[in-house]
Chain A
Amino acid sequence: MTLTFFWIFGVLAMLSALLCITRKNPVACALWLVVTLFALAALFVLLDAQFIAVLQVLVYAGAIMVLFLFVIMLLNLGRPAPTDIKGPVGLLIAAVLAGMLLFQLRVVSQATLPDAIRLPPGTVAAIQQQQGMVGAVANPLFDAYLVPFEIASVLLLAAIVGAVVLAKRKL
């Protein structure tokens, strides 16, 4: 049952990603990407990462895609325009390179985890049961990953200042 739903949402994600990269209109691209992001959120739920799924909808499908659509509207790119997809030669090169990449990634996707590093089955579920869905992510975030967390806050501050400086006409 879980596997069936996993493949339904997985195929939805792949199809909408394909439509996203092939639509001519940037607004259509953005909206198909939103569909992909929602399907990925469903996959996260099926993979026992409910909190990450909520974040995916809030941050990606909410904030980041609104930013994209806002810029598209601001630049008035929704009007009919000549296509930006490259000609036959560019398409062929892209298809060959993407095919090679997929061939190489296929090997990775068939990998199995060695038993030496794999946790006993049910360990993660037990942690989530014990500490709650949010606690299971938050406890390592403020404990083992505290320094990266602080660095991320500096990164976001730099991004805010950088975006204001770049987008302002005159400081």
Chain B
Amino acid sequence: MLLSPALAISAVLFTLGVAGVLFRRNVIVIFMCVELMLNAVNLTFVALAQGLGVGGQVFVFFVMAVAAAEAAVGLAIILAVYRHKQSVSLQNMNLLKDG
């Protein structure tokens, strides 16, 4: 039915999110890629809920709550870092790097 197309689309979206995290340097764009990955997982949950019961749809709830909390705290951290470095590039966030 719709299960295997949904899982295929979800796999492609998750891979695009991972690729975005790997080749971008802008922290905000990387954050958006993380949201993309969370959405790909949501699609998997909803697709499997069709055959396995509505528990999957309940889990999408919790994923959304965690994503909202993550977005609020993450963007606050980005604001705090920007205030110090005047930049949102990952290249300038190397306080823990040796040397």
Contacts and interface: CB of A to CB of B under 8 A. Distances in A.
A90 B19 CA distance: 10
B69 A159 contact: yes
A60 B35 contact: yes
A51 B57 contact: yes
A155 interface: yes
Interface in B64-90: 64-73, 75-80, 82-83, 88-89
B54 A26 contact: no
Contacts of B22: 90, 93-94, 97-98
B9 A10 contact: yes
Main secondary structure of the interface of B (DSSP, over half): helix
A112 to B, nearest CB: 8
Interface in A91-124: 91, 93-95, 97-98, 101-102, 105-106, 108-113, 117-119, 123-124
Contact of B58 (A48, A110, A119, A140): A140
Nearest to A11: B9
Nearest to B38: A60
A79 interface: no
A166 B73 contact: yes
B32 interface: yes
Nearest to A2: B2
B68 A63 contact: yes
Contacts of A163: 72-73, 75-76
Interface residues of A, number: 85
Contact of B54 (A2, A55, A124): A124
A25 to B, nearest CB: 10
Most chain A Cβ neighbours within 10 Å, of B24, B36, B77: B24
A94 B23 contact: yes
Nearest to A30: B32
A137 B54 contact: yes
Contact of A159 (B46, B52, B73): B73
Nearest to A157: B69
A40 B78 CA distance: 27
Interface in A67-92: 67-68, 71-72, 74-75, 77, 84-86, 90-91
B39 A37 contact: yes
Contacts of B29: 21, 26, 29, 84
B75 to A, nearest CB: 5
B26 A26 contact: yes
Contacts of A49: 46, 49, 57, 60
